Amino acid sequence: GNDWSLVLGAKEGNGANKIGEPGLIARRSEIGNDGSFKLHVGDAKMVKMTLNMMEGTYLIETINFENSLSYVGTAGGWNNNGGSSRIALVDAAKGLYTGYIYGKQESYGNTFRLFSPSQLGSWDASTGNSDVNTFNGSIAAGGSDNNFEFTDGDGVYYVEYCITDKSISATKISNMNLVGAFNGWNQADDAQQMTWNAEELCFVKVNASVSGEWKFTANNDWGINLGGTIDNLVGNGDNLKAEGSTIKLYPCRNTSDNIYCTVE
């Protein structure tokens, strides 16, 4: 009814709400002042606000997260002392980590955990399956040790872990292709498929002869693709323009903070 007196606010009063502590909501007409919420967020990157209309309560929480997470699992000998591959940099707008992980099947499964750089060396501080509510695609809760598990065997997986939604998904990369003006932008061109090199953790294509503008696509589809610059490849990035005949794509960030490629 365009009546400001009916707007809901903090019953404690204008700006008197406390982060991390539950409070009461009320109509402005009951409060006697604006009752506006104030976000005392400090260095937090996100804020989560929950309103319980049945009980008339609210809760404002700050959410912080590290810039990156590391893979520690079967493919790296379960080394949690800093030698593992980094999977992603966070999207500060969403709290979403994305990246490519090479998973290796062992007798006890294709399992792993996630660590922030400050957590390496401490198993108790790592992220495991109990920290996630929703699993999608080729990933599941693995065993009794709170591990994650890739469900499609050895290979490279594109992983998305959302810290705010507590969800994780993985898509196995069955193939990676070169696609561009040189092949009519055919994302499913068998002649342009790359081969996985498990020792170097890279996809390789020789005698490629790329020219003009081009990109990388996965699984014969545009849903997962990489572009940008050869030293910093990102999802849905700009077309590349480097020319060469031997292409190596390093998606797992095992030697760099960036996904990158070499063109020779």
DSSP labels, 111-126: EEEEE-GGGTT-GGGS
Burial of residue 191 (CB within 10 Å: 0-12, 13-18, 19+) is: exposed
Q: Does the pTM exceed 0.85?
A: no
Q: What is the mean pLDDT of each run of 10 residues along the chain (264 residues)?
A: 89 93 94 90 82 95 81 86 56 77 91 83 85 96 88 95 90 96 95 95 93 96 97 95 95 89 96
Q: What is the pLDDT of residue 93?
A: 55
- Cβ-contact 131, 116 below 8 angstroms: no
Q: What is the pLDDT of residue 92?
A: 54
- Cβ-contact 139, 149 below 8 angstroms: yes
CA 259, chain centre distance (Å)? 13
Cα 197–Cα 247–Cα 77 angle in degrees, nearest 5 = 25
Q: What is the pLDDT of residue 1?
A: 78
- Cβ-contact 257, 89 below 8 angstroms: yes
d(CA 17, CA 27): 15
d(CA 91, CA 84): 21
For residue 261, count other CB atoms closer than 10 A to its CB: 21
Q: What is the pLDDT of residue 257?
A: 84
CA 30, chain centre distance (Å)? 44
Tokens representing 10?
């903090």
Helix or strand or coil: residue 32?
A: coil
Q: What is the pLDDT of residue 82?
A: 59
